[in-house]
A = this chain, B = another copy of it.
Amino acid sequence: MTAEAKTAHPASPPLTERQEARRRRILHASAQLASRGGFDAVQMREVAESSQVALGTLYRYFPSKVHLLVATMQDQLQHMHATVRKRPPSSDLPSERVAETLMRAFRALQREPHLADAMVRALTFADRSVSPEVDQVSRQTTAIILDAMELDDPTPQQLSAVRVIEHTWHSALITWLSGRASIAQVKIDIETVCRLIDLTTPDGQK
């Protein structure tokens, strides 16, 4: 993968400059409102007004509130990935590097818990109509984790481990966001699941 770091629309018509700007305004307004009050605070009428776009136009760009928030998440994830790439995790063991990376992401989310709430709730609430977009988020997350592992050619078992790590990551976030798990607990869960990686590296420690 070389330089198609953009949103990677498979076959969407190229947007004009003004359209790109609109899209950007919408995403910005969405993130802003989400930062204030989470999922519920992102109200489509307000997003439209905030981004100076008619409601119908908002729906043309993002066919539902969930689509909008998942796109917002894609946006944030890209930041995250770029950031992590600049300062890669420092531990020796792959499992520890992954845990370190996820904890770094977790701390970033803690700085904007409402935004995290909006994005994660949208992600898990998404139905089939949003599958492509959610899948894209999932691929992006996988890429970040694989980066942290620093493997050129992961085995199927390692890919399975990564899947399970993602599952745990999402679900642990939800328990944290809904107040059913502490930050410390999420940390433990992440560290626990990351040990799965050690199981799959032939020359790992016991």
A161 proximal to B (CB < 8 A): yes
A164, B193: Cβ atoms closer than 8 Å: yes
Residue in chain B with minimal CB distance to A38? B127
A161 / chain B contacts, CB cutoff of 8 Å: 192
- In the assembled complex, the CB of A64 is this many whole angstroms from the nearest CB of chain B, namely 12
Given A164-B168, A167-B171, A195-B196, decide whether A180 and B134 contact each other with a Cβ distance below 8 A: yes
Contact check, A131 vs B179: say whether CB atoms are below 8 A apart. yes
List B contacts of A6 (CB < 8 A).
Answer: none
Bound CA–CA A134/B134 (angstroms): 24
CB pair A178–B128 under 8 Å, yes or no, is yes
* Closest B residue by C-beta to A196: B196
The answer to whether A138 has its CB under 8 Å from any CB of chain B is yes
- A interface, CB within 8 angstroms of B: 39, 121, 124-128, 130-131, 134-135, 138, 157, 160-161, 163-164, 166-168, 170-172, 174-175, 178-180, 185, 188-189, 192-193, 195-196, 199
22 of the cross-chain contacts (CB-CB < 8 Å) are A121-B125, A121-B127, A124-B171, A126-B178, A127-B178, A131-B179, A131-B180, A157-B192, A160-B188, A160-B192, A161-B192, A163-B185, A164-B168, A164-B192, A167-B167, A167-B171, A167-B172, A167-B189, A170-B171, A192-B196, A193-B196, A195-B199
Known A-B contacts: A131-B180, A168-B193. Give 15 more (CB < 8 A).
A125-B125, A130-B178, A131-B179, A163-B188, A164-B164, A164-B192, A167-B171, A167-B172, A167-B175, A167-B193, A170-B171, A171-B171, A192-B196, A193-B196, A195-B199
